[in-house]
Amino acid sequence: MLVLPKGVRHMPGYIARPAQEALVEEIRRVVQAAPLYVPAMPRTGKEMSVRMTNCGALGWVTDKERGYRYQPTHPVTGEPWPPIPEALLQLWRQVSGYPHPPEACLVNFYAADARMGLHQDRDEQDFDAPVVSVSLGDDCLFRVGQNTREGGTKSFRLKSGDVVVLGGEGRLAFHGVDRIYPATSALLKNGGRINLTLRRVTVPTEAAQPAGGGLGRT
């Protein structure tokens, strides 16, 4: 049995196939409003292998000039990000254990040759809130480690409908995607993998409304 770092939860098949299909349609609408673009690394300007977009009040972006950050508008179109679909807000309420709603949902599309190096999600102000990750489409080999690069890592396969939560002691765990397994899912017509990561960016004020109770299994 694979033992994951504290605070890291893997929920295989949490999202049933009909809900996955509905979620893909929601993400298609997000992409129509906020097209996928190719992000670039800070300083070097090297293009990342994934294409990405966002939904929510804030979106995570990166470029050579200004680096990693959150902003309220699409870096290419200048338009505000579309709202987070209700199904994802429900998922957050079910699995996050956090009383306030997410402000950002990063949408990453992985083609067969795309990867994501080991990194921490630390551009947010509020580390009390977890990061909730959803896999749709082809399988990937996911790797997760400790809160420092020196710690060992564990690798396991993520399938369509799986959910991973990085919270508590695992909120700043290093993690990445080592490879995509093409043609392992028929969910996406042209193959590939969609990864959705829900994040709380700012520290809630006392007047902020809680996210509310869960609405049952997705």
Q: Each residue's pLDDT tens digit in the chain (218 positions)?
A: 688 989 999 999 999 999 999 999 999 999 999 999 999 999 999 999 999 999 999 999 999 999 999 999 999 999 999 999 999 999 999 999 999 999 999 999 999 999 999 999 999 999 999 999 999 999 999 999 999 988 899 999 999 999 999 999 999 999 999 999 999 999 999 999 999 999 999 999 864 555 543 333 33
Residue 110 lies in a domain: yes
CA distance 63 to 205: 30
Residue 58 lies in a domain: yes
Domain CATH code at residue 103: 2.60.120.590
Q: What does the H/E/C string look like for 164-208? A: EEECHHHCCCCEEEEEEECCCCCCCCCCCEEEEEEECCCCCCCCC
Residue 1 lies in a domain: no
pLDDT digits (tens, 9 = 90+) for 145-174: 999 988 899 999 999 999 999 999 999 999
Residue 210 lies in a domain: no
In terms of residue numbers, what domain contains 156?
A: 8-199
Number of domains in the chain: 1
Percentage of residues of the chain with pLDDT beyond 70:
94
56 to 24, 28, 146: CA distances (angstroms): 17, 15, 29
* DSSP E strand boundaries for 62-145: 69-71, 104-110, 116-119, 131-137, 139-144
